[in-house]
A and B are shown apart, each in its own frame.
Chain A
Amino acid sequence: QSALTQPPSASGSPGQSVTISCTGSSSDVGDDNHVSWYQQHPGKAPKLMIFEVNRRPSGVPDRFSGSKSGNTASLTVSGLQAEDEADYYCTSYAGRNNHVIFGGGTKLTVL
């Protein structure tokens, strides 16, 4: 199984919006809505931000939103804040083999 494709970096100024893409195939991202996103600050464990393409766990700000079109899922961070600077990873369920596939990660910089 190949990793999902994410841009290595993204950036934006405080208050702006940034969108991070996650491209897979018809066997994973495009197959269903089982896509999730994680935020990871340096030296810390990942934190679930989005599941099922666009659902937020309790406690995650509504500045974080998700969407999907075809084989590409996206995470949008609106109203950027300094604490949003982190690495972001997408995952998809690969149903045919009951696997979970990670994206390569995107480093988000708040300018």
Chain B
Amino acid sequence: QVQLEELGPGLVKPSETLSLTCVVSGGSISSYYWSWIRQPPGKGLEWIGNSYYSGSTNYNPSLKSRVTISVDTSKTQISLNVSSVTAADTAVYYCARNPPYATPYGYYYYYMDVWGKGTSVTVSS
């Protein structure tokens, strides 16, 4: 079955760009949206945004100016970049798959059926 693994540096300096990669194995990257979600220590989950395999993206308005999500179908990877990071960006970052849900009005991609184990990122000098 499909598995996701988040990769990236565990430590990022303030004002720099946080870059993470989610590697997809055991399944297709096509026909799905792919989300990034984060969880600060001791706090709840926050949806960062998602990207369709063809490139269409949606972002959390609170992060939109600093976030870029992209899908590389040739490498079956999803990337996340968060610029100008501060201590508030310290969190466990998860990638997850959004499958299509069919309705008479079209397809919706909102729930996350497969999750990676997450990777911890600390922002500190």
Contacts and interface: CB of A to CB of B under 8 A. Distances in A.
Given A1-B60, A1-B61, A99-B60, A48 B113 contact: yes
B110 A36 contact: yes
Interface residues of A, number: 27
Interface string B88-123: 000000100000010000001011110111100000
Contacts of A48: 111-113
Contacts of A104: 44
Contacts of A89: 44-45
Given A36-B110, A45-B115, A51-B111, A102 B94 contact: no
Majority DSSP secondary structure for residues of B touching A: loop
A6 to B, nearest CB: 9
Contact of A34 (B101, B112, B113): B101
Nearest to B56: A98
A82 to B, nearest CB: 23
Interface in B39-79: 44-47, 50, 58, 60-62
Which of B37, B45, B58 has most A Cβ within 10 Å? B45
Majority DSSP secondary structure for residues of A touching B: strand
A93 B50 CA distance: 13
A36 B99 CA distance: 13
Interface in A62-102: 89, 91-93, 97-102
B94 A93 contact: no
A75 B117 CA distance: 24
A11 B66 CA distance: 39
B117 A45 contact: yes
B35 interface: yes
Interface string A100-111: 111111000000
A100 B47 contact: yes
B110 A100 contact: yes
A3 interface: yes
Interface of B: 35, 37, 44-47, 50, 58, 60-62, 94, 101, 108, 110-113, 115-118
